[in-house]
Amino acid sequence: MIQAILLDLDGTLLTDQKMISPRTKQILLDLQAEGKKVVLASGRPKRGIEPFAEELRLHEYGGLIVSSNGACVTDAATNETLFEQAIHPNDARAILDHLTGFDVIPMINDETYMYVNDVFNGMLELNGEPFNIIEYESRGGRFRLREAPRLADAIHFPVYKILVAGQPDYLQAHAASLAGPFTDRVTGMFTAAMYYEFTDLGIDKARALDHVFQNIGISRDRVIAFGDGHNDRSIIEYAGIGVAMGNAVEDILTIATEVTTSNNEDGIATVLSRYLTT
């Protein structure tokens, strides 16, 4: 019997329209009513996860929010921080200064604001179309925007993650140089073709959850996890049952226990329907 359900958001729980499908929502509510714990585990900041946690009523059922790729875990019922590990301020400042030598758009956030160098310089070309990455991230995280010509000077809060956006080809070509000076102090990874992210050394979704699960008596063998992207690898490997969405990247499809249909085809509900007891 499963005790907990781990869900990535973008490309997994959410459709391409950034919504939870009615079927998936209902089955998650039913499973919570049976005592299963639902965990939303995303690279998004906490503010960007909370609307979906509220929609699934995690605050009523004692669910968990794992934000910034595992840098912070929050009890949705009490808003208590159960685990956190920010990048050391000196490392965060050094990384942000280092990034000024590249054609990228770095972003950091506190609880209210997202900080960027220039709010009017957020355009990328994705799939042949212009895309305002700063607007997309600020709206998705429900942040107000603030400019800081030197982002390192803006740090007066815990930096759980440094988000670096850029043209996919450029990021691929320069990833080693972006991360090179800091590989012994932070973790760097692609979370999408146009995103490279820094968190503190060793941080990932599974490590954060293992810390919390040990304290509340949840066994990893009784966990089922769903994901689609590179940053979901840790939870797919950690869980007793690791499920790749049909739209997952090849690395996740290869290591998963099973593969379901895509995020637009109720892939989560298709698998979880087997675990309803009523």
pLDDT digits (tens, 9 = 90+) for 120-163: 999 999 999 999 999 999 999 999 999 999 999 999 999 999 99
Q: Does 4-85+203-275 match 89-200 in CATH topology?
A: no
pLDDT digits (tens, 9 = 90+) for 210-225: 999 999 999 999 999 9
* Domain positions in the chain: 4-85+203-275, 89-200
**Would the pLDDT of 66 be above 80?**
yes
pLDDT digits (tens, 9 = 90+) for 184-202: 999 999 999 999 999 999 9
Give residue 79's pLDDT. Answer: 97
CA-closest candidate to residue 44, choices 8, 93, 85: 8
Give residue 37's pLDDT. Answer: 98
CA-based end-to-end distance of the chain:
14
Which ranges constitute the DSSP H helices of 56-198? 58-61, 89-99, 133-140, 168-179
Q: Are 248 and 237 in contact (CB under 8 A)?
A: no
pLDDT digits (tens, 9 = 90+) for 32-55: 999 999 999 999 999 999 999 999
3-state secondary structure of 55: helix
Could you give the C-alpha distances from 223 to 18, 147, 244, in angstroms and in order?
25, 42, 14
Q: What percent of the chain has pLDDT over 90?
A: 97
Give residue 278's pLDDT. Answer: 59
Distance (Å, whole) CA 237 – CA 60: 29
CA-closest candidate to residue 191, choices 94, 53, 68, 52: 68
For domain 4-85+203-275, give the CATH number.
3.40.50.1000
164 DSSP 8-state letter = E
Q: How confident is the model at residue 180 (pLDDT cuts 50, 70, 90)?
A: confident
Distance (Å, whole) CA 41 – CA 49: 9
Dihedral angle over CA of 197, 220, 53, 137, nearest 10: 10
Distant-in-sequence, close-in-space partners of 78: CB < 8 Å, separation ≥ 6: none
Mean pLDDT of the residues in the chain? 97
β-bridge pairing 195-200 and 4-7:
unpaired
Looking at the domain covering 89-200, what would its CATH class be? alpha beta
**Would the pLDDT of 83 be above 70?**
yes
Give residue 184's pLDDT. Answer: 96
- Tokens at residue 136, please? 């997309």
Provide the whole-model pTM. 0.94
CB count in 10 Å sphere of residue 123: 13
Q: What angle do CA 250, 209, 218 make, to 5 degrees?
A: 110
